[in-house]
Amino acid sequence: MSDVLLQIDGKEVKATQEMTVLEAAQRAGISIPTLCHHEKLEPFGACRICIVEVEARGWTKLVVSCVYPVEEALIVRTRSEKVDRIRKTILELLLAHAPDSPVLQELAQTYGADKNRFEKEASFCIHCGLCVRYCAEVKKKNAVGFVDRGIRKEISFIPEIASKECNDCKECFPLCPTSYLQAAFVLTEALAFPPSSE
Ligand code: SF4
Ligand code: FES
């Protein structure tokens, strides 16, 4: 596989052709915030917090770095006024759903996001899909899935599978940026398969 040379934040970075901009940055020790990315999972491109500015052939545009492929001589800026403004707005929208998430609060500090900018609609899940995709792609169990669509979308444990698989696993719990997942599991367990009924 041939190497690709690009520039990220002024630093010359060597990547391989199949890499995304995010992977190239991570390999070079350059940090880009992510909320729906996990190295063991297929890129999802949902949260948009990893947005960066790229410049190629005289054009500058904003791209989602976890799904955008590297290319020769690409110039990448991981922070700029525009990038920071978009990340700030994304965080403010997410904080309306999960105001107590430590992950979001920490990012909010970095980008000056105001957690009270948008009216609270606490749903706690920010739809990053890490739990659903980890269970499907890595564990191949599908014990948790999305139900409904659009703004009504929410995650749900499938009691028949979760009652058999989850107690000895729980690998998805630490992936959740809001800890909603753990609460959803405890509720499903209490309602559908309380420990005392085993
Ligand atoms: S429960 Fe947590 S990990 Fe799962 S989709 Fe929602 S925020 Fe992401
Ligand atoms: S980390 Fe890239 S879109 Fe979520």
- Mean of the pLDDT values across residues 103-124? 94
pTM: 0.93
- pLDDT band at 65, cuts 50/70/90? very high
pLDDT at residue 196, rounded to an integer: 61
What percentage of the chain carries pLDDT values higher than 70?
Answer: 97
pLDDT at residue 140, rounded to an integer: 98
Task: For 157-182, write each residue's pLDDT tens digit.
Answer: 999 999 999 999 999 999 999 989 99
> CB under 8 Å to 155, separation ≥6 — which residues?
125, 131, 132, 144, 145, 146, 147, 180, 181, 184
Is residue 195 within 8 Å of residue 163, measured between CB atoms? no
Measured in Å, how far apart are the chain's first and last C-alpha atoms? 53
- The pLDDT of residue 197 is above 70: no
- The pLDDT of residue 183 is above 60: yes
pLDDT at residue 194, rounded to an integer: 82
How far apart are the CA of 21 and the centre of ligand 2, in A? 12
Residue 65 C-alpha from the chain's centroid: 12
Closest atom of ligand 1 to CA, residue 184: 1
- Identify the bridge partners of residue 5 per DSSP, sorted by sequence position: 14
What percentage of the chain carries pLDDT values higher than 90?
Answer: 88
Closest atom of ligand 1 to CA, residue 128: 8
State the Cα–Cα distance between residues 51 and 62, nearest whole angstrom: 7
- Identify the bridge partners of residue 8 per DSSP, sorted by sequence position: 11, 76
State the Cα–Cα distance between residues 48 and 127, nearest whole angstrom: 12
- The pLDDT of residue 15 is above 60: yes
Query: Is ligand 1 within 6 A of the CB of residue 35?
Result: no
- The amino acid at 118: F
Task: For 115-124, write each residue's pLDDT tens digit.
Answer: 999 998 888 9
Residue owning the nearest CA to atom 8 of ligand 1: 128
State the Cα–Cα distance between residues 178 and 151, nearest whole angstrom: 17
How far apart are the CA of 128 and the centre of ligand 1, in A? 5
pLDDT at residue 152, rounded to an integer: 75
The helix, strand and coil proportions of the chain, stated in percent and rounded to the nearest 5, come to 35, 20, 45
CA distances from 115 to 5, 32, 91, 104, 178 (A): 39, 21, 8, 9, 14
Query: Is ligand 1 within 6 A of the CB of residue 26?
Result: no
Instruction: Count how many Cα atoms sit within 13 Å of the Cα of residue 20 in the half-sphere of its side chain.
Output: 20
Please name which of 42, 47, 14, 12 lies closest in space to residue 32, comparing C-alpha atoms.
47
- The pLDDT of residue 198 is above 60: no
Out of 36, 38, 107, 126, mutate this one to test ligand 2's pocket (max ligand atoms within 8 Å of CB): namely: 36
Task: For 122-159, write each residue's pLDDT tens digit.
Answer: 889 999 999 999 999 999 999 999 998 776 788 999 99
- The pLDDT of residue 27 is above 50: yes
State the Cα–Cα distance between residues 49 and 35, nearest whole angstrom: 7
